[in-house]
Chains A and B, each alone.
Chain A
Amino acid sequence: MDKLMAELKRQIIERLNLKDHKPEDIGDDQPLFVEGLGLDSIDALELIVLLQQDYNIKLSKAEDGPKVFYSVRTMAEYITEHSPSKTPS
């Protein structure tokens, strides 16, 4: 899980062009949106694309989005649960 979360932080910074951030700046349980990392709705769409492209996971229910993308840890848990074979070991 720690390795997956570290990889997700790197991917989020790269994919969302968060040039002022380093992976260690993002807490495992830090909220990604609004009061936390300050991501917006377009970033949410990019994260959905990231899940599809890099982990072959399609978010089946849109209403799950806020829960899945709440933090790096919730994203990692969702990935582990839905595509264990795609997670880095």
Chain B
Amino acid sequence: MINENLQPERFITSTCLIRTNSAYKNGMAEFQRPGLSASDFLDELYRFERLDYPKFHKMDMLSKLGLLAAEILLKDTDHRGKYQDEETGIILSNTNGSLDVDLKYAKTMHAGASPALFVYTLPNIVIGEIAIRHKIKGENAFFVFKGFHGNFIAEYVNGLFNSKLIRSCICGWVDFLGEDYKALLMLVETTRTGTAIPFTVERINQLNNENYG
């Protein structure tokens, strides 16, 4: 068993979970609207967060979900002030890729395919949207797995830190298909803050299995 006290190098300093019409920051309910469709819920969350980012309305659902999760994750963290643009990585994963918008795009192909939908038909576009919004230019990658893979996230992100490619990382899970969605983002840094928890496989999986409801 790993003794977390002996591995002080990396910490999860902020988390955001969005699922089933609820958004949580660091385990605390940030916003809840039962009964709304997934699309309406994300639009309501956008308004609640007062983003004033018109491009949001043009995004596919996966990007909207990821962008909102990143917004809540980084809120009140002074992340921008602490790191150069190239020092933050974004490592995301999911199980449905960009299938939600792929299906919508396929429906438009018979009557003039929509360029606005086409540009979102890759899952890593959500990374680009987060990077543009927060001026992040570090290492990034999007992985598609059968399910949540805490061990892989820990190994990959730790590899980037060990290679000194990054000094902080936004990582986790962003998945959207139909009315099913979940985002779990973690901010990983090398400095411990008040509420930080060790960046270990056990803690990552624990966060993924958390049921705040």
Q: Chain A interface (Cβ within 8 Å of chain B)?
A: 16-20, 38, 42-43, 45-46, 49, 52-53
Q: Is the CB of A46 within 8 A of B115?
A: yes
B contact residues, range: 10 to 19
Q: Is the CB of B112 within 8 A of A17?
A: no
Q: Chain B interface (Cβ within 8 Å of chain A)?
A: 54, 57-58, 111-116, 119
Q: Is the CB of B54 within 8 A of A18?
A: yes
Give the docked Cα–Cα distance between A17 and B119 (Å). 15
In the assembled complex, 12 residue pairs joining A and B whose CB atoms fall closer than 8 Å, in A order, are A17-B57, A19-B54, A20-B54, A20-B57, A42-B115, A42-B116, A42-B119, A43-B116, A45-B115, A46-B116, A49-B113, A53-B111
Q: Which chain A residue has the least Cβ–Cβ distance from B113? A: A49
Give the docked Cα–Cα distance between A20 and B55 (Å). 10
Q: Is the CB of A49 within 8 A of B114?
A: yes
Give the docked Cα–Cα distance between A16 and B119 (Å). 13
Query: Smallest Cβ distance from A18 to chain B, in angstroms?
Result: 7
Query: Smallest Cβ distance from A84 to chain B, in angstroms?
Result: 22
Residues of B within 8 A of A49 (CB): 112-115
Q: Is the CB of B114 within 8 A of A46?
A: yes
Give the docked Cα–Cα distance between A82 and B116 (Å). 25
Residues of A within 8 A of B112 (CB): 49, 52-53
Q: Pick from B111, B113, B116: contact of A16, CB below 8 A.
A: B116
Give the docked Cα–Cα distance between A19 and B115 (Å). 18
Q: Is the CB of A18 within 8 A of B115?
A: no
Query: Smallest Cβ distance from A59 to chain B, in angstroms?
Result: 13
Residues of B within 8 A of A18 (CB): 54, 57
Give the docked Cα–Cα distance between A7 and B116 (Å). 21
Residues of B within 8 A of A38 (CB): 54
Give the docked Cα–Cα distance between A49 and B108 (Å). 11
Give the docked Cα–Cα distance between A39 and B114 (Å). 16
Give the docked Cα–Cα distance between A46 and B115 (Å). 6
Q: Is the CB of B58 within 8 A of A17?
A: yes
The 6 closest A-B pairs by CB, nearest first: A45-B115, A19-B57, A17-B57, A17-B58, A53-B112, A49-B112
Give the docked Cα–Cα distance between A42 and B116 (Å). 6
Q: Which chain A residue has the least Cβ–Cβ distance from B56? A: A19
Residues of B within 8 A of A20 (CB): 54, 57
Q: Is the CB of A16 within 8 A of B58?
A: yes
